[in-house]
Amino acid sequence: MGMIEIDDKNFEAQLLESEKLALLDFGGQWCQPCKKLEPILEELSNEYADQIVVGHCDVAKGPETAKRFGVMGVPTVVFLKGGQEIDRFVGLMPRDKIVAKIQGHL
């Protein structure tokens, strides 16, 4: 399935209403760590397609969504279950640690 592009208009329909564990990646085109994290999240969105949904929100295109989650720096990845935040991490994280977080919330 791959990552879903998220903005202020489609956020609720795409992620809050999902029955699956949702990961929302906040980033920016100018952010080098974000560019390194995106392919990892894209891979995981395909590997765990039946269990998770992964959204990417460029903070320039989704400022209200970023504000709603109190995003202070990018990359920030917010984990949502049933529309509620259950976890987050800020900065670039190794793939194996992201996998461990995903598995811990499934």
Catalytic site positions: 31, 34
Query: Which amino acid, 103?
Result: Q
Q: How far apart are CA 76 and CA 60, in angstroms?
A: 14
CA atoms within 13 A on the CB side of 102: 25
Q: How many CB atoms lie within 10 A of CB 104?
A: 10
